[in-house]
Amino acid sequence: MILKYIPLDEGMMIMDEAIVKAKKIIEGYPETKFSGEEYQRFYECVYFMCTYHSSNEKTMQLYEKFRNSLEESIFSTILPTLINKQGANLLRELVVMWSNYKLMARWLCRFFEYLDRFFIPQHIELESLNGISFSCFRDLVFKKLYCRFIDATLTLINQERDGLQIDCILLKNVLDIFVEISDYSGVNYYKDFEQIMLTEISGYYSRLASEWLLFDSSAEYVHKVFWCLNREKQRASQYLHPDSEAKLMQVVRYQLLD
């Protein structure tokens, strides 16, 4: 590849084109695609800017541009979409936004790939591009709205326990996001959710057991216990991680049988 000089301002404008188009994905157009020619143009732009400008300062500006493009997308589109939603609607938007955000970030990672291959390995204090993608969403979206995500998730679980129909696929997708974010974080968000859920379920079945023991015969109590155990197992298998399912069943058995 013949080395080509691209002035910093011109190169940044070219990469702005890539960012503006990639942002369409989180603006409601996940089918947005880049042609082979577009990919080559944007990749080569970063490559030429990094290799021609030997200064780390210029390359660092590209690194920061990648981060800033993600942060700006979160502030301009993702947070305004989520902030006024509640309950299941909030969780549906979370699933859509997370999926579209990852798709947008994957395209941008491909365009800025040269940074991952040659610049970032020389600076161990810098996150990888994929790491930045996760940390931006975690810090700016997940941490900010985590309590609301938890409340909405537990509300769905409790609604199903009370006999209402819920979207179990939505619930599983949300919990998968908890796991995915936890894998790139120092905080295990899924474990936090699991602990809150188990505490709530423990209290729920403790109260229920006290009520049944007070008013039901032994035969009626046993019948209700096994009905609850079967129902909880069926529910848990639809959306919980297998380890969580086992812990949940242990809590339910303890409150109803011990």
With vertex at residue 46, the alpha carbon angle to CA 43 and CA 47, rounded to the nearest 5 degrees, is 80
* DSSP one-letter code for 99: H
Instruction: Quote the pLDDT of residue 139.
Output: 95
Domain boundary among 187, 210, 240: 187
Instruction: Quote the pLDDT of residue 56.
Output: 81
* DSSP one-letter code for 121: G
Q: In the chain, helix, strand, coil percent, each to 5?
A: 80, 0, 20
Instruction: Quote the pLDDT of residue 50.
Output: 87
Looking up residue 153, the CATH number of its domain turns out to be 1.20.1310.10
- Domains in the chain: how many in total? 2
Mean pLDDT confidence for 52-58: 75
User: In the numeric block, which tokens belong to residue 35?
Assistant: 């042609």
- 86 and 175 housed in the same domain: yes
Q: Which amino acid is at 167?
A: D
Q: Residue 193: inside a domain, yes or no? A: no
Domain boundary among 187, 209, 232: 187
Q: What is the pTM of this model?
A: 0.91
Q: Residue 3: inside a domain, yes or no? A: no
- 102 and 202 housed in the same domain: no
Domain that holds residue 218: 198-257
| Each residue's pLDDT tens digit, 12-52 | 999 999 999 999 999 999 899 999 999 999 999 999 988 87
- 68 and 139 housed in the same domain: yes
Q: Which amino acid is at 55?
A: S
